[in-house]
Amino acid sequence: MDLSDTPAEEEFRARLREWLAKTLPGLPPQPSPDDWPGRRAYDLGWQRRLHDAGYAAVHWDASPAIRLIFLEETEKAGAPYVGANFVGLLHAGPTIAAEGTDGQRARWLPPILRGEEVWCQGFSEPDAGSDLAALRTRAWRDGDAYVVTGSKMWTSHAEVADWCELLVRTDPDAPKHRGITWLAMPMDAPGITVRPLRTLAGSAEFAEVFLDEVRVPAANRVGDENDGWRVTMVTLSFERGTAFAGEVVACRRVLGELAGAARENGRWDDPALRRRLGRLHAEFRALWRLTQWNVSAAQASGGVPGAGGSVFKLRYSHARQELYDAAAEVLGADCLDLDRPWTLDRLSSLSYTIAAGTSQIQHGIIAERILGLPKGR
Amino acid sequence: MRFRLTDDQRALRDGMRQLLARRFDGAALRGAAERPERLDRALWRALGEAGFFALRLPEEQGGVGLGLPEAVLVFEEAGRVLLPGPLAATHLAAGAVPGAATGETVVSAVDGGLVEWLAEADVVRGDAPGAVPMRSLDPLTPLHRVPGRAAAAPDPVAVLLTAAEQLGTAARVCELAVQHARAREQFGRPIGAFQAVAHLCAGMLARSETARAAVYAAAVTADPLDIAAARLLADEAAVRGARDCLQVHGGMGFTWESEVHLHLKRAWVRTHRAGGVTHSEEALAAALTAGAA
Ligand SMILES: Cc1cc2nc3c(=O)[nH]c(=O)nc-3n(C[C@H](O)[C@H](O)[C@H](O)COP(=O)(O)OP(=O)(O)OC[C@H]3O[C@@H](n4cnc5c(N)ncnc54)[C@H](O)[C@@H]3O)c2cc1C
């Protein structure tokens, strides 16, 4: 077992650190969380800088260990988050790279990497969340296009996206996992209505998307017709990979800030609070080690993140909620003030045990795929 | 970074697992629980021969010359099978107390207000005047209370080895629960097909695997904060895992015949070793204000 960098990793880390130290001071100020056009421009601008410095595809081209170093160093330095580029960089792009044709790769990948186009994910529907294969949005073949009608739900960044990775049902008579197709839909096509949904944190980070006879060129189909479920599994394995690793570093920083705040307001004298923060410190240290462990396992088995990602996702999502609950205890009545940054973080942490597969679904994956328990229901 | 077991580490772990399967199987465990207070000296020497106690002692001093990662692997194996005896105290005494390294001498140590295996030990490190026997909750760990002693700061290696034993228990109880959940049928199907049971098992694995990453990493870095964190995670994984394992076993789990209760009791005993959890929590909390998050 070795936790130190290899010479190549060490070199990458040093080069990245130097570049971050040089680049970050010149960045424009972050737009407010609700300014979606502003955030789109900001996030694309950051991707453009990464591209020009040679870090464009670090999320998918690099080895898992290099990816982890990238996440660790950018977070430590306080660099911008992937933000609106999340879907394009972390799952649509890698899926197209793995499953698309040469023409599709040439059309869609460079704009993602250069920070020119934003993608969103149109998987979930009002009646198809955990049971994604129950999706009902229909698509008919009409000449050289699919005609799509239906609706999608909780589509993050839909308002500012150029493209949508869309799942549609192309064969309603097939068993439910077999009649699905994966399409790249341009978000400016006629027939698309985006209705922002307000989250409990007050922001509008996701939307409902209504599709009324939207024509999507058949050439935009990734994988075969009715073979979309297999392509979707590729997408989801990328989505659950190292996506949250950088956030663990951020949570450790927050924990340090909490301790400082508790010292200032006197709460630190309460041994119960200290012990609670001590436990969280242990948890986030362990989650970082677990990330390194999973990444080393992925590296040994050819780079594909396995079901071990579910262990991480399950624990991390709960730990993040506990972190901001502890913040509320440190803040006292100030935790009710929306102008305190931790208040909004506490609210948004509530989504972590739901989005990208609920905790109950992660438990199910661990029980069936890792422990080999019989399939239930 | 290559955070995987090396081939040599794997071989060491497998060798220890085989030795313990030969010398201390389930029947031996239940037998020991019926004959408490008696340590199997032949087994202790066999451990000595296999290098369990001398593992980290330099080769010039007759030891094996390995490090903390290897020690953690063999202690995890000992924890899995609930091997009785003051394992960590004897291991830590190798090189300092004659005969400890080879398993000829059983060494115990005063730890906070407690001593394990006082009557069976040849040597007790630290003073234990006026030690009073307790009716120990764990039939496999005789305990004495030592009155009026302030707890000293624990040796980080003792903390880590305790965490490794807890990890062994955490992994083992998860396996026991999964085996039972596959085999036991109610309402015409294996109970593991019921989500409530499957999710208990998944929770056990999520805790033990997180603890594993923390314990192995702490063994590599030997950083006292990594060790404190590993200890907290491993304690939680062992204690909650053993409780959930008992739940999965239902009424059978509440009987003396099943080994589940022995895992829970030992896990509880270990939570009081080496400064207890409070010490680790306070150390990690103090580091936060020192900017070491
Ligand atoms: C912030 C946020 C952003 C999102 N972004 C996107 C996006 O960009 N694109 C997209 O396509 N989707 C997105 N989603 C949707 C997300 O993937 C779904 O909300 C999630 O998969 C859960 O589905 P659901 O909401 O329909 O809940 P349901 O599936 O209805 O679940 C409700 C409850 O029942 C439980 N449950 C359901 N099935 C089972 C079962 N088999 N066993 C045990 N318990 C079960 C669940 O755990 C949950 O507690 C987002 C969600 C959030 C919160």
Nearest in space to B230 (alpha carbons), one of A281, A258, A323: A281
The CA-to-CA distance between both ends of chain A, in Å, stands at 40
More confident of the two residues A312 and A305:
A312
Helix residue spans in chain B (DSSP H): 7-23, 26-34, 41-49, 68-80, 87-93, 156-183, 195-221, 224-253, 260-271, 276-289
- Both tokens of A153, joined, read 């739900």
Residue with tokens 């396995």: A306
Q: Is B19 helix (H, G, I), strand (E, B) or coil?
A: helix
Taking all residues of chain A, what is their mean pLDDT, rounded to a whole number? Answer: 91
Per-residue pLDDT tens over the stretch B138-170 = 889 999 998 876 677 899 999 999 999 999 999
Give the pLDDT confidence score for residue B172 in this predicted structure: 97
Between CA B293 and CA B282 the distance in angstroms is 13
Per-residue pLDDT tens over the stretch A14-33 = 999 999 999 999 999 999 87
Pick the atom of ligand 1 nearest to A128's CA. Answer: 26
Give the pLDDT confidence score for residue B293 in this predicted structure: 66
- Are the CB atoms for B247 and B258 separated by under 8 Å? no
- Both tokens of A165, joined, read 């990775």
Nearest in space to A143 (alpha carbons), one of A219, A47, A241: A219
Domain with CATH 1.20.140.10 in chain A: 230-370
- Are the CB atoms for A194 and A209 separated by under 8 Å? yes
**Residue nearest (by alpha carbon) to ligand 1 atom 35:** A360
Which residues on adjacent β-strands are paired with residue A2?
A: B2
Please tell me the distance between residue A351's alpha carbon and the centre of ligand 1 in angstroms.
Answer: 10
- At the topology level, CATH places domain A230-370 in Butyryl-CoA Dehydrogenase, subunit A; domain 3 (1.20.140)
- Exposed/middle/buried for B289, CB within 10 Å: 0-12, 13-18, 19+? middle
A117 carries an active-site annotation: no
Q: Which residues contact B144 (CB under 8 A, 6 or more apart)?
A: B114, B115, B118, B128, B131, B132, B133, B134
Q: Which of A36, A124, A164, A317 to mutate to test the pocket of ligand 1 (most atoms within 8 A of CB)?
A: A124
Between CA B267 and CA B79 the distance in angstroms is 9
Q: Do B206 and A311 touch (CB under 8 A)?
A: yes
| Percent over 90 (pLDDT), chain A | 72
Give the pLDDT confidence score for residue B292 in this predicted structure: 66
**Cβ within 8 Å of B, A 199-218:** none
Give the pLDDT confidence score for residue B149 in this predicted structure: 64
| Cβ of A86 below 6 Å from ligand 1 | no
DSSP collapsed to 3 states, A140-208: EEECCEEEEEEEEEEEECHHHCCEEEEEEECCCCCCCCCCEEEEEEECCCCCEEEEEECCCCCCCCEEE
**Residue nearest (by alpha carbon) to ligand 1 atom 7:** A155
Q: Which stretches of chain B score pLDDT less than 50? A: none
Per-residue pLDDT tens over the stretch B115-135 = 999 999 999 998 888 899 998
Give the pLDDT confidence score for residue A60 in this predicted structure: 80
Between CA A253 and CA A281 the distance in angstroms is 10
In this predicted structure, which of A276-285, A293-302, A362-371, B206-215 has the lowest mean pLDDT?
A293-302
Alpha carbon of residue A278 to chain centroid:
28
Domain with CATH 1.10.540 in chain A: 7-114
**Residue nearest (by alpha carbon) to ligand 1 atom 27:** A129
Please tell me the distance between residue A108's alpha carbon and the centre of ligand 1 in angstroms.
Answer: 28
Residue A189 reports pLDDT greater than 90: yes
CA nearest to B222 within chain A: A3
- Both tokens of A108, joined, read 């869609």
Give the pLDDT confidence score for residue A193 in this predicted structure: 97
Residue A306 reports pLDDT greater than 70: no
Which residues on adjacent β-strands are paired with residue A209?
A: A152, A194
pTM of the model: 0.89
| Cβ of A352 below 6 Å from ligand 1 | no
- Identify the CATH class of A119-226: mainly beta
A7-114 is classed CATH 1.10.540: yes
Give the pLDDT confidence score for residue A179 in this predicted structure: 96
Please indicate if any CB of chain B lies within 8 Å of the CB of A1.
yes
Domain with CATH 2.40.110.10 in chain A: 119-226
**Residue nearest (by alpha carbon) to ligand 1 atom 16:** A355
Please tell me the distance between residue A340's alpha carbon and the centre of ligand 1 in angstroms.
Answer: 28
| Cβ of A124 below 6 Å from ligand 1 | yes
Between CA B98 and CA B54 the distance in angstroms is 12
Residue A242 reports pLDDT greater than 80: no
Please tell me the distance between residue A201's alpha carbon and the centre of ligand 1 in angstroms.
Answer: 17
Give the pLDDT confidence score for residue B43 in this predicted structure: 92
- Both tokens of B115, joined, read 């001593």
- Are the CB atoms for A281 and B280 separated by under 8 Å? no
A299 contacts in chain B (CB < 8 Å): 2
Pick the atom of ligand 1 nearest to A360's CA. Answer: 47
B82: left (phi over 0), alpha (psi -120 to 50) or beta: left
- Both tokens of A350, joined, read 């509530």
